[in-house]
């Protein structure tokens, strides 16, 4: 099952590898270095335990003292290297996370088009197809040395590319609905859609007894009037009644 967090991480790795390949190469190198450092520390710990487990007075065993001294020195050197590695890896992650808005935005697009199968089972789009378009968009979108401008360019270009490609496969009657779902998905991702308003739009609210009589029953159905009354309870429409 594809999750939003898992997809975001995958998309972030892809865009970072395309935009800053040297950072991804350095990060992979640090991961290997960190694993090697942990292995060496484990070997040192095992050696120390082996020395301590021997019979006799360790303080009188020059070989044991030498091994312990060398192990301690080596352990301190490796620990110091590991601290540097961890700090460098953190700095790389911060730079890489500069592209996170692109990954989040693109993940939203994927889940929007995934919902199209609820409209028609023929509307199926694979992750492989989506990833290929994503990489294509990264390569074709307008470049900029300014990170903020580059991020906006990546988001805009990929949105346009997805929209055009998906619309080619939709029946004409479903294109407007797709445009609406895409717009809502992007706005919700930017916290521009109030959840209460959205739920009301989808459901019309919970039908309760309406204490207000319909003043224009000759042209407005009672059901619509009841929805207007319920709508007035939303903060956005306060004062409507």
State residue 9's pLDDT score: 93
Is residue 100 within 8 Å of residue 8, measured between CB atoms?
yes
Residue 138 and residue 178 in one domain:
yes
Question: What domain range is 236 assigned to?
Answer: 194-241
Q: Phi and psi at residue 136, in whole multiples of 5°?
A: -60, -40
Q: Is the same domain home to 118 and 176?
A: yes
CA distance 15 to 23: 11
User: Hey, what are 169's tokens?
Assistant: 């496969």
Query: How sure is the predictor about 60, in pLDDT bands with cuts at 50, 70 and 90?
Result: low
What is the Cα–Cα distance from 82 to 39, expressed in whole angstroms?
12
Q: How confident is the model at residue 55 (pLDDT cuts 50, 70, 90)?
A: low
65 and 49 assigned to the same domain: yes
In this structure, are 68 and 48 located in the same domain? yes
What confidence tens digit (pLDDT) does each residue in 80-103 have?
877 877 888 888 888 889 999 999
Residue 11 lies in a domain: no
Total-model pTM: 0.74
Share of the chain above pLDDT 70, in %: 95
> What is the predicted pLDDT for the residue at 56?
62
In a domain? residue 4 = no
**What is the per-residue pLDDT across 12-28, written as a single tens digit (0 to 9) for each?**
999 998 998 887 788 78
In the chain, what is the greatest distance between 2 CA atoms, to the nearest angstrom?
A: 107
For residues 213 and 189, state if they share a domain. Answer: no
Q: Could you give the count of Cα atoms lying within 13 Å of 52 in the half-sphere of its Cβ?
A: 9
The answer, yes or no, to whether residue 174 has pLDDT greater than 90, is yes
Q: Tell me if residue 211 falls in helix, strand or coil.
A: coil
The two tokens of residue 217 are: 């029953």
Please say which residue of 36, 63, 97 terminates a domain.
97
Give the 3-state secondary structure of 149-164: HHHHHHHHHHHHHHHH
- Asked if residue 124 and residue 159 are part of one domain, the reply reads yes
Residues 6 or more apart whose CB falls under 8 angstroms from that of 129 comprise none
Are 152 and 172 part of one and the same domain? yes
**109-111-112-113 Cα dihedral, nearest 10 degrees:** 90
- Classify residue 77: in a domain, yes or no: yes
State the DSSP code for 125: -
Residue 64 belongs to some domain of the structure: yes
Same domain, 198 and 187: no
Evaluate if residue 66 carries a pLDDT over 80.
no
Confidence of residue 68 (pLDDT cuts 50, 70, 90): confident
Question: Do residues 227 and 204 make contact, with C-beta atoms less than 8 angstroms apart?
Answer: yes
Residue 111 to residue 182: CA distance in whole angstroms:
10
Distance from C-alpha of 212 to C-alpha of 230, rounded to nearest angstrom: 11
Report the distance separating Cα 82 and Cα 161, nearest Å.
Answer: 43
* Highest averaged pLDDT of the listed ranges 7-21, 53-67, 125-139, 219-233: 125-139
The total number of structural domains that make up the chain: 3
Q: Tokens representing 93?
A: 């992650």
pLDDT exceeds 70 at position 210? yes
Q: How many CA atoms lie within 13 A of 97 on its CB side?
A: 6
Alpha helices, DSSP H, located in 20-126:
21-52, 62-96, 100-114
């Amino acid at each position: 099952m594809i999750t939003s967090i898992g997809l975001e991480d995958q998309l972030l790795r892809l865009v970072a590898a395309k935009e800053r390949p040297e950072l991804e190469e350095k990060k992979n190198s640090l991961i290997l270095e960190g694993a090697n450092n942990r292995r060496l520390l484990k070997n040192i710990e095992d050696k120390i335990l082996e020395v301590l487990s021997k019979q006799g007075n360790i303080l009188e065993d020059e070989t044991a003292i030498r091994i312990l001294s060398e192990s301690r020195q080596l352990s301190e050197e490796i620990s110091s290297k590991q601290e540097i590695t961890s700090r460098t890896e953190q700095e790389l992650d911060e730079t890489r996370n500069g592209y996170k808005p692109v990954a989040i935005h693109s993940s939203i697009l994927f889940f929007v088009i995934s919902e199209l199968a609820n409209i028609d089972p023929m509307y199926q789009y694979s992750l492989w197809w989506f990833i290929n378009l994503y990489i294509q968009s990264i390569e074709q979108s307008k470049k900029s040395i300014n990170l903020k401008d580059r991020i906006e360019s990546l988001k805009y270009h990929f949105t346009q590319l997805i929209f055009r490609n998906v619309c080619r496969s939709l029946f004409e009657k479903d294109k407007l609905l797709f445009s609406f779902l895409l717009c809502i998905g992007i706005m919700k991702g930017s916290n521009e859609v109030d959840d209460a308003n959205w739920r009301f739009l989808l459901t019309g609210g919970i039908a309760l007894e309406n204490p207000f009589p319909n003043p224009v029953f000759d042209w407005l159905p009672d059901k619509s009037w009841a929805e207007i009354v319920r709508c007035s309870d939303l903060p956005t429409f306060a004062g409507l009644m």
